[in-house]
């Protein structure tokens, strides 16, 4: 069926739970879209180091796939790298930390906020501005930042941070305060790009890793301030969390994001499916995004991608109608579509096209 609303109309209606011509969709295809630029040989290193190249992938991705959103995820090592961690930048692989900057308790305590006008922090802000300028009149745009605890675990290694939460909590808090200061500066920087929203990656809000009390102590109290600042800087606060057992009561009901992006792990007892998420009221006041397996975009046939998307649409539509909702779900991947050269671009298109064809909802 042909679309009768444009992307902005549909996106805005979905955020307000108004009727739509079809559900919104955004497979989280960021780095992979560099393959659509020029001769298709842009390296990941170039893409993640040059604002123009970073933005060009979103612009070409939009032309090719006709998404409803554009969200500026680069990778999870931006802040850690600017804190002094060694980041390996392969040609066709997501950059990642190979030598964390923070190795001792003193390192936590002496950490200073990275300058957001230097390094890849600046690339991220400048690149976000470029794609927002190009796409902001077509789709809902958003910046993407790692939350304080995620940045710290990238800069010091996760196991070390988790042990230090117990052994050296005051040092961990000192580092988190410093990173929050950096994050606040990044929020202000992103505010100047005029993006409509800002997505926080609050990955450690998972019951596999932290209970409510620990999460509140080591991320919640920092996140609340950043969430508030995000709104003050004119951006809708959104959250991405691809963990297996997300803290939905805190991150959706208490934090009140406009959009919440999540994954589904069918073999983990208690991992919330799309249906359960809607049934339990988490989509009542928040646009939920998910939950197609990101690896499906690499591994599946187009037929399987279509079938999976159709199954998810059916599940979501049935649950939303039962809940009295019109449009509070975005058909998306539960995490970033792998940006590797083996990702099947046709599967991204298949997902979007299937939503266009079968995403109409009438209760």
Mind giving me the DSSP string for 185-253? HHHHHHHTTT-SEEEEE-TT-BTTT--HHHHIIIIIHHHHHHHHHHHHTT-EEEEEE--SSB-HIIIII
Smaller CB separation from another protein, 233 or 293: 293
Smaller CB separation from another protein, 139 or 155: 155
Three-state SS letters, 313-338: HHHHHHHHHHHCCCCCEEEEECCCCC
Binding site for another protein (CB under 8 A): 75-76, 88, 93-94, 96-100, 156-160, 162-163, 165-167, 203, 207-211, 214, 242, 244, 263, 265-268, 273, 293-295, 298-299, 333-340, 342
Residues 6+ apart with CB under 8 A from 60: 33, 36, 37
How many residues are recorded in the chain?
Answer: 363
Residues 6+ apart with CB under 8 A from 154: 76, 77, 79, 80, 85, 97, 100, 146
Smaller CB separation from another protein, 175 or 337: 337
Smallest gap from residue 355 Cβ to another protein (A):
20
Structure tokens, 297? 């975009």
Smaller CB separation from another protein, 115 or 249: 249
Where are the alpha helices (H) located in the chain, listed in sequence order?
7-15, 44-47, 51-65, 78-82, 105-110, 119-135, 148-156, 158-167, 169-191, 212-215, 221-232, 248, 274-279, 296-299, 302-323, 345-358
Smallest gap from residue 233 Cβ to another protein (A):
27
Smallest gap from residue 305 Cβ to another protein (A):
15
Whether residue 102 contacts residue 83, with contact meaning beta carbons closer than 8 Å, is answered with yes
Smallest gap from residue 295 Cβ to another protein (A):
5
Alpha-carbon span 2 to 257, nearest angstrom: 30
**142 phi and psi angles, rounded to 5 deg:** -150, 145
Smallest gap from residue 309 Cβ to another protein (A):
15
Smaller CB separation from another protein, 174 or 299: 299
69: helix, strand or coil: strand
Alpha-carbon span 120 to 127, nearest angstrom: 10
Smallest gap from residue 96 Cβ to another protein (A):
5
Please give the DSSP secondary-structure letter assigned to residue 359. -
Smaller CB separation from another protein, 236 or 262: 262
Element containing residue 291 per DSSP (H, E): strand 287-292
Smaller CB separation from another protein, 44 or 58: 44
Smallest gap from residue 356 Cβ to another protein (A):
24
Smaller CB separation from another protein, 32 or 223: 32
Q: What is the largest CA-CA distance in the chain?
A: 60
Smallest gap from residue 201 Cβ to another protein (A):
9
Smaller CB separation from another protein, 93 or 302: 93
Smallest gap from residue 55 Cβ to another protein (A):
21
Structure tokens, 103? 């190795």
């Amino acid at each position: 069926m042909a679309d009768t609303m444009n992307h902005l109309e549909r996106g805005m209606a979905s955020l307000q739970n108004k009727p739509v011509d079809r559900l919104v969709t955004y497979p989280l295809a960021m780095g992979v879209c560099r393959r659509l630029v020029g001769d298709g040989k842009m390296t990941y290193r170039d893409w993640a180091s040059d604002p123009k190249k970073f933005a060009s992938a979103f612009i070409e991705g939009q032309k090719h796939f006709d998404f409803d959103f554009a969200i500026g995820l680069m990778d999870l090592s931006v802040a850690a790298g600017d804190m002094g961690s060694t980041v390996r930048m392969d040609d066709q692989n997501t950059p990642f930390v190979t030598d964390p900057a923070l190795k001792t308790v003193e390192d936590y305590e002496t950490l200073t906020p990275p300058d957001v006008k230097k390094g890849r922090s600046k690339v991220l802000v400048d690149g976000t501005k470029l794609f927002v300028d190009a796409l902001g009149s077509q789709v809902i745009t958003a910046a993407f930042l790692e939350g304080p605890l995620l940045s710290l675990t990238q800069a010091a290694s996760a196991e070390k941070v988790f042990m230090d939460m117990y052994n050296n909590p005051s040092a961990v808090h000192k580092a988190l305060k410093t990173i929050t200061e950096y994050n606040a500066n990044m929020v202000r920087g992103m505010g100047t790009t005029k993006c409509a929203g800002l997505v926080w990656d609050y990955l450690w809000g998972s019951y596999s890793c932290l209970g409510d009390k620990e999460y509140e102590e080591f991320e919640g109290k920092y996140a609340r301030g950043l969430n508030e600042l995000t709104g003050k800087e004119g951006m809708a606060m959104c959250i991405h969390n691809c963990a297996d057992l997300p803290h939905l009561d805190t991150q959706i009901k208490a934090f009140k994001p406009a959009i919440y992006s999540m994954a589904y792990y069918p073999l983990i007892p208690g991992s919330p499916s799309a249906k359960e998420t809607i049934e339990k009221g988490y989509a009542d006041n928040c646009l939920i995004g998910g939950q197609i397996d990101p690896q499906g975009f690499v591994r599946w046939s187009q037929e399987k991608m279509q079938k999976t998307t159709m199954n998810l649409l059916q599940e979501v539509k049935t649950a939303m109608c039962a809940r009295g909702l019109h449009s509070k779900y975005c058909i998306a991947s539960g995490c970033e579509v792998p940006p590797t050269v083996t990702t099947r671009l046709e599967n991204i298109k298949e997902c979007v096209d299937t939503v266009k064809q079968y995403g109409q909802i009438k209760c």
